[in-house]
Structure 1
Amino acid sequence: MSISPSSRHARTIRPQLRLLPTPDPQDRPIGSTPGVPDRVDVFLDMGYVIRSARTAFGWRVGSRTPDALATAREILALRHRSSELGTVHVFDGLHGPDRRPLDHHRMLAWKRQVEASGEVIVHLRPLQYLPDGGFRQKEVDTSLAFAMDDAARSGRTEAIVAFTGDRDQLPAARRVLAADVRFESACWGQRGGIFLPEERTWTHRLGRAAYQRCTATGEFGDAA
């Protein structure tokens, strides 16, 4: 059998590859029902929320305590998915009544005020005092991790957002994902939060305008 020159030199037609856009991490099917808003629980490491605002916006701008409920709502406004706010969990340290009684009672009054709406739960852990007279948070990270575990396994939430920069929370974040619940983080400005690169988790970045809205009222609901 002879092969004609024209057929021998004819180009082989190869199938064309079509590149599909990479889906947004928030669009993964994990933890949601089509057409139903995500119920989102927000977890605020208040020590980090305050410190990181100073880093992002400067000491004078970031020297006030953001309102927990307003901060959670700002985070939900950045989500690409239809969302409804579940429970806001706030974690902070508590001064001892014998060491700093005024600050102790002030924090308890702040807790009552913040929890009055029924949408926020404040978790206070005793502060650890240092020999030099300073203090630091103790057991806040453990309390936050256990609370995220409980929320992820409750069956009542589709997404958890943690406003923290503590990388020790990454194992807890993986447990959230293992429970078929989305995990996302939040921060002020362009740096911060925690991230699981292998899971392509999302970080919500709140700008200066959002921070100013979150601090528009005082710690006890008074105008700033």
Structure 2
Amino acid sequence: MELTAYQQKLAAWLDEYRDFVPAQTRIRVVQQILAAIKQHELPDQLISLEFSETELVDNLGKYPQLLTFESELLDLRQLLVEKFGIWHLFSRRWVQDLKHFINAEQTKSLELMAGNAVLTKFVPNMRATDNLDWKGQDNEHPHPWTTVENSDALVAVQKYYRVVDNIVLAWAPDQDEIDWHILQFLRQQKWAGKFIVIGEKNGATNSKAFWQNSHLTLVAELNRNHPQVDFINDQVFLVK
């Protein structure tokens, strides 16, 4: 997917749906996201890019291509993966919630499978680790936003668990049980810190073994500014 072509579509949609406020809102949010990411910054907030059932039913007559438009708008996720190496997008509001929840100025944190370390750049006292095994898949060339230590996730946990208070794991792959191995290790060590996992329960992220064996708490503070952006219902869990 070409970034320029997608941006040209956004501009064309702004004109096509100039009288349809829900479309205008979503288009402008996507434009703001892309503008921020290109500057290695985060968008202020995120919203759902899917239309509600009411919005669709009430407007399909006037805009018969609305479902096609929605589908193409939702290509944003794949674009972020392919062009920016970002599988999960954070907002500034959500990062502020996280920093408050973990008391970031006073604690130490570890980000696993950090990719381009988009989160670590904005969280004090956080170390990013990733073995970069995603190179050559959807995204060829890593462009880290800050320093990333080349390390397997389990190895990183074994190395740093004694000196960190928080571990964050966002969008672990669903075909690898390393998330479950990490949780088992932390349980064996009776680790008392916060293990924060972002993913879609029994869905697009994380292994079946992890979801089946983890004790999950949905953290209200970490989900209030974490909307379901598209068809993937990822949420923020505290895991034991």
**TM-score, normalization by structure 1:** 0.38
* Structure with more of its chain in strand, by fraction: 1
Structure possessing the higher radius of gyration over alpha carbons: 1
Q: Which has the higher contact order (CA 8 A, sep 6+)?
A: 1
* Structure with more of its chain in helix, by fraction: 2
**TM-score, normalization by structure 2:** 0.36
